Amino acid sequence: MVTGAAGGIGQAIVKILSDAGVDIAAADIQLEGVKCAAALPGDLADPTYCDELPAQAERILGGLDIVVNNAGIIRRGPITEATDEDYRQSFAVNVEAPFRICRAAIPLLAESGAATIVNIASCWGLRAGPNHPLYCMSKAALAAMTQCLGHDHAHQGIRINAVCPNEVDTPMLRSGFNARGIDPETGIDELNQSVPLGHIAKPEEIADVVLFLASDQSRYMCGSLVEVNGGKPVA
C-alpha cells in the first residue's frame, strides 16, 4: 500500500514496486492515471479514512506485506506567518495519517511474518532548515516515530525504516517556486548547483531506496533513517 501515490515520488514508488512484481493498493485524494491493482481514493486528513485504509488494502489484495507512508505536504514561511490551518494540515497529513495507518497496519503486517513499513521523512526533519518550521517539526515527528516503531515491532517480523530526502524535483517543489514568483526551471538549476553530486534528486532516485528498504536486501535494517541527499547538507 502506497499513500500519496499520485504525487511525483509516489508515482515513482508505485512504478518501481509494480515492476518488481508487487501488487499495489494506491491511496491519494485522486488517482487518475495511477496504474495499480487497487485504487483507494480519499483524504488523508480524514481520520476514518486512514484508520480503515490498511484493512481495505488487505481485503482487496488478499494480504498486506508492505506499507509506504509517502504522502506529505509543505507549508513554507516563518512561524509568525503560519496559520492554525497550516499547522492542522501539516500535522494531519505528515504525522497523524502515518500514525493512524501504522497503528491499523501493524496487526495485519504481523500475520505476514516478514513485512515492512517505509516512511518518507526528510533531511529537514533531522536537521532543521530555515523558514520551514511546520515542515521540519512534522517530519521530525515522523522520523522519531519510525525509530520507536522499528524497535517496538521488530520482534513481530516487521521492519520499519524511513527514507529522508533533501530536495526532490517534483510538482510540489516546482509549485513552491511558482508561489514565490520564481521560474521553476531557474529555481531547479540553482538548487542543482548546491548539490555535490550535481543535481537534486529525481523521484526515481528516492523510489530506488524505497524498493531497497522494502526488499529482503535490507533484511537487517530496522528503525533506520536513510538520508538520500546527493551529499548536500541541510542549509
135 labelled catalytic:
yes
> Alpha-carbon distance 140 to 81, whole Å?
20
> Active-site residue among 87, 139, 220, 232?
139
Q: How far apart are CA 61 and CA 73, in angstroms?
A: 28
> What DSSP designation does 224 have?
-
Residue 193 cell numbers, joined: 548547483
Candidates 135, 202, 220, 232; catalytic one:
135
Q: Is 87 a catalytic residue?
A: no
* Helices 47-61/97-109 angle, 10° precision: 30
Nearest to 206 by CA among 223, 188, 177, 226: 226
CB 113: neighbour CB atoms within 10 A? 10
The residues annotated with a catalytic role in the active site are: 135, 139
